[in-house]
Chains A and B, each alone.
Chain A
């Protein structure tokens, strides 16, 4: 079965996108990326640490022939900051790709939709491939698509919460009505079944970080997510049976002994 995952004309083998934050060690992160089967990872733009040079070489740990780098604007609370961060990321990495976050509230890390739209419009005009993180809201999704977003990435639950999909209805509606660009669940996945359920709904991909990095065994969870995303996708394509209240025998009733 040919089933390709394409964003802005670029083809990905895996429908799982992994964040590279919060791992106990870089070595653990490298092993988790490998086990997850991902081929796109997110990285954050930060000030160079002028005292502690050990942090300087973070990107040396990531094989950029294997992993497409997706810089993010995590930590930005205004469109202006997010745009500035995206510009710096493009200058440093030579990539137009940006995972756009404009956060509206510190406690929930919910997105600021106004700022997000404003930054999306600006960055698309500047030639960026913009993947915005937003609330699971159809109207915002449509506005982001109109603004030129290359994919839309609704949260399943608050960032880092591990709560799994909180609003199946919104996600199902988004799946039915967002057809122009890939629909990627971003944030809230806590364990493998959360990822499978999202994929079974038909979303095109999942982005996660804490669910893997925060697991007791991050490498094992990365492998579990690898299977979970693929299992959910296959089940979606295979088409589940209808739910019925009563039993239906699966063995033939003809030829029973009497």
Chain B
């Protein structure tokens, strides 16, 4: 199935769990936050939260920043 991750189209296996998506993207899970269709998925629910066709996923972490403005989330 196809989902949108950080604005990019990704082909993933059907009903993939958020936890498995993070692994498949090769991301370190520490200090990440995940939104699916604008709702935050708490870390404890990553294994049980299953994604569906067309879901919009945002995965964020931190970059250097202070009194500066960077591109929109």
Chain A residues proximal to chain B, CB less than 8 Å? 18-23, 26, 29, 42-48, 50, 53, 55-59, 71-72, 74-76, 81, 84-85, 87-89, 91-93, 103, 109, 133, 159-160, 186-187, 207-210, 213
Please determine whether A44 and B63 come into contact, CB atoms closer than 8 angstroms: yes
Please determine whether B66 and A47 come into contact, CB atoms closer than 8 angstroms: no
Cα of A85 to Cα of B66 in the assembled complex, Å: 14
B11 contacts the other chain (Cβ, under 8 Å)?
Answer: no
Interface residues of B in 5-52 (CB under 8 A from A): 5-8, 25-28, 31-35, 38, 40, 42-43
For A210, list chain B residues within 8 Å (CB): 66-68
Q: How large is the interface on B (under 10, 10 to 19, 20 to 34, 35 or more residues)?
A: 20 to 34
Of all chain A residues, which has the CB nearest B30? A59
A91 CB contact (under 8 Å) in B43, B65, B66:
B43
Cα of A91 to Cα of B62 in the assembled complex, Å: 12
For A159, list chain B residues within 8 Å (CB): 67-69
B64 CB contact (under 8 Å) in A29, A88, A103, A208:
A29
Min CB–CB distance A69 → chain B (angstroms): 8
Min CB–CB distance B30 → chain A (angstroms): 8
Of all chain B residues, which has the CB nearest A99? B66
Please determine whether A45 and B68 come into contact, CB atoms closer than 8 angstroms: no
Interface string of B48-62 (1 = CB under 8 A from A): 000000000011111
